[in-house]
Amino acid sequence: MIWNHVETSSRNEMKSIQLGRLQQTVSRVYDNNPVYRKRLDENGVKPAQIKTLDDIRRLPFTVKDDIRDNYPFNLFTAKQEDVVEYHATSGTTGKPIIVGYTRNDLDTWSEVMARCLTSAGITKNDVLQNIYGYGLFTGGLGAHYGGIKIGAAVIPISGGNTQKQIMLMQDFGTTALTVTPSFLMHVQEVGTEMGIDFRKLKLRTAVLGAEFWTDSMRGKIQEDFGIKACDIYGLSEIIGPGVACECHEARNGLHINEDYFYPEIINPETGEVLPLGEEGELVFTTIANEGQPLFRYRTRDLTSLSQESCACGRTLVKMKKLVGRTDDLLIIRGVNFFPSQIESIILKHPGVTPHYLVVVERNGALDEVEVRIEVTDQHAYKYVAETMTVSQNQRVSDDRATRDIVKNLVRDIKDVVGITVKVTLMPPGTIPRSEGKAKRFIDNRPK
């Protein structure tokens, strides 16, 4: 089902919408934001020079530090009295990234989230349990606004309260979920301990995002819950969730709401714009936001774009599922390594779960990588915890079954990633869980 006819526009129609909005945005920002006006003047760029979509390349790149350096409101274009809602990222150090929304921005957010939920197969007939966190994090309210707009019955439970989550799924007849994939895996663990068979509930679809997850995890979630799982993408800096989403029919790429968020793929080293199909860093220009429009924001996310036709009928440009982030890239003994590569390997092995942590240390002149992975509950009885501890988490004992699992994991990681790692199996429940984004790696090397 299509929410808005714009999602099926011809390429010429879409370009016309994009150019008109881009020109209006550049003029509004130039007139109302001194920071951007100075940068445009330094580059010799005036709004009247934006005559085609290719002229977007005249605009300066924006990075996260630009927003931090102008904390809290110096990158806002709207007047303070016109801002009706604030959100912020959950950074652990320094100043947070602040986002401001006008009433029109909230309408935009509701619209793009309505498109995403509809794309994932959610309608006004669904009971939508929204497990994304409410508050300054954009996930909870973004999904909430979209659910309300399409007319679904929204349960605003937010994160945590795992047993209560399960109770409401049963008692309220929840049919759709919005949640991080790692927390949904935790819900499944707790439900299994309670004797719950999620496949017998009314659940039928889930919209998962806010963290990297693989198709292997999708397969496990779909099997455990008896649902279809769709990926959603967004950034607080751009608007929050709702920038792009997979469709229920294909689930082989995320449709970008490109009439609001103009996408480019660049070479992360040179800034050169790459053609369709080539992998690089995803860049967005917000062409309708009023509160805090951003020119060519570098997301650090790695993907590619395509305009291939889709079974769902949408003509929106697609982005492939993320392959990683430039700032998550670890260079280990000369090899480029994304910790997220580990997940798809783990899920191919019986006896272990997708709960893992990659820890990098420097021993003398050499970098060493340890991958800590939990064993499954059904295999846990084979293992007896030793007295050794790793960050206060006990390792499982070193018996023959353990050695076989470790040996196979070390081999497969070496084959895929190209480096030899140390694999440590951990008892169930010892890798920290998160209600928000899961922490997948720790880099302890000297800075």
Outline which parts of the chain fall under CATH 3.30.300.30: 329-443
| Token pair belonging to 228 | 């279809």
Q: How far is CA 339 from CA 213, 235, 262, 323, 423, in A?
A: 11, 21, 29, 11, 13
Residue 72: predicted pLDDT: 95
329-443 maps to which CATH number?
A: 3.30.300.30
> At the topology level of CATH, where does 1-325 sit?
Rossmann fold (3.40.50)
pLDDT digits (tens, 9 = 90+) for 228-257: 999 999 999 999 999 999 999 999 999 999
Q: With a cut of 50, say whether residue 6 has pLDDT above it.
A: yes
Give the integer Cα–Cα distance in Å for 32 and 290: 11
Is residue 58 within 8 Å of 49, Cβ to Cβ?
yes
Outline which parts of the chain fall under CATH 3.40.50.12780: 1-325
Q: With a cut of 50, say whether residue 400 has pLDDT above it.
A: yes
The angle subtended at Cα 214 by Cα 334 and Cα 321, nearest 5°, is 85
Residue 220: predicted pLDDT: 92
Share of the chain above pLDDT 90, in %: 68
Residue 219: predicted pLDDT: 93
pLDDT digits (tens, 9 = 90+) for 404-414: 888 999 999 88
| Token pair belonging to 354 | 């997708």
Average pLDDT of the residues in 143-152:
98
Sign of CA dihedral 219, 254, 138, 269: positive
Give the integer Cα–Cα distance in Å for 437 and 92: 13
Which of the residue ranges 122-136, 213-227, 324-338, 356-370 would you say has the lowest mean pLDDT? 324-338
* Three-class secondary structure of residue 271 per DSSP: coil
What are residue 229's phi and psi, to 5 degrees?
A: -110, 125
- For residue 235, give the nearest of 183, 174, 303 by alpha carbon: 303
Q: Residue 385 — pLDDT band, cuts 50, 70, 90?
A: very low
Residue 384: predicted pLDDT: 37
DSSP per-residue string spanning 290-343? SSS--SSEEEEEEE-EE----TT---S-EEPPP-EEGGG-EEETTEEE-TTHHH
Model pTM greater than 0.75?
Answer: yes
Give the integer Cα–Cα distance in Å for 229 and 254: 13
Q: Residue 434 — pLDDT band, cuts 50, 70, 90?
A: low
Give the integer Cα–Cα distance in Å for 96 and 72: 9
